[in-house]
Amino acid sequence: MTEKIRHIPVLSKEVLEYLALKKDGVYIDATLGGGGHTETIVSCLGKRGRILAIDRDRFAIEIAKRRLGKYGDRIVYVQANFSDLDEILEKVKIKKVDGVLFDLGVSSYQLESPERGFSFNKRYDAFLDMRMDTSQELRAFDVVNKYPEKRLREIFYKLGEEPFARRIARQIVLARKAKPIRTTGQLLEIICRSIPAYYRFRRKGHWATNVFRAIRMEVNQELPSIKRALPLAVRALKKKGRLVVISFHSLEDRIVKKTFREMSLSQDDRKPVVKVLTKKPIRPSPEEVRMNPKSDSAKLRAVEKL
């Protein structure tokens, strides 16, 4: 497991602006990943400031602990799914916090760790794993080789927004009848022969992106986790505390936007819970995209607890 991978935090200046950091505040980075945002936040805090860093990936936590060791006990690390935020806070004896950050999706650390099976880079022909938490049972291998054709088609279409979902699902089912599809390279070959040549050469980004993303989201149940976690994060905030969410996919952003809108409105006898700080999502500057092309699809939304 390489330790040379460094996560470039997306929209880092904007994150600090919308979190409105207090020197002695307590914050949560619900998606530690490569540790870029955690380091950005903790470096701006005073000696009494603290940050709770959460990640499902124990390898990410181990590497972050070594890389961020100079901050000592100002960072508290927890391996868990952020959808269990209420249980996590109870475990670490934190009642309320000043701010929470979510940087959704897969981290650069995971994409650039070939053995994890997240990448569709041809150089990384790895076992189909894609688990953020390697202790869970469901793997990409199980999705690809055991899910019925109809279910695969639904996943590729709904989670991946893949226009050739039907063709790809059909070819996967035909291929696995001959032998199990074990590696990312095998899956790439199937996707390649399932889609027209013009689509591979004309579409923006890699032609396997949609399918790989859909499988990853299914394996890790990413959308259900987001839906559960956002209200828990708001509940954990102190009055005037901030929740900042960075998404990279339209389905993620849709959930964030809907949740924030619902919580900002009066409903029946319930008063608004938050004030939306971003009427439109904040996007990376052209300069940031040039420096870090992976930031291109990022959208930041933020709310303040009332």
pLDDT in tens, 27-51: 999 999 889 999 999 999 999 999 9
Q: What structural domains does the chain harbor?
A: 12-109+222-305 (3.40.50.150), 114-220 (1.10.150.170)
* SS3 of residue 150 by DSSP: helix
Q: What is the mean pLDDT of residues 266-276?
A: 87
Q: Are strands 274-276 and 299-305 parallel, antiparallel or unpaired?
A: antiparallel
pLDDT score of 6 more than 60: no
* 8 Å CB contact between 250 and 272: no
Q: Is the dihedral of CA 97, 70, 295, 131 positive or negative?
A: negative
Residue 130 tokens, joined: 């894609």
Instruction: Look at residue 2 and tell me whether its pLDDT is greater than 50.
Output: no
User: CA 217 to CA 212: how far, in whole Å?
Assistant: 9
Task: Name the band, by pLDDT with cuts 50, 70 and 90, for residue 72.
Answer: very high
The pLDDT tens digits of the residues spanning 82-127 come to: 999 999 999 999 999 999 999 997 766 666 667 787 777 767 789 9
pTM (2 d.p.): 0.92
Lowest-pLDDT range, 76-80, 225-229, 265-269?
265-269
Q: In the predicted model, is pLDDT for residue 239 greater than 90? A: yes
Name the pLDDT band for 200 (thresholds 50, 70, 90): confident
Close Cβ partners of 71 (under 8 Å, ≥ 6 residues apart) = 39, 42, 43
Least confident of 27-41, 105-119, 161-175, 218-232: 105-119
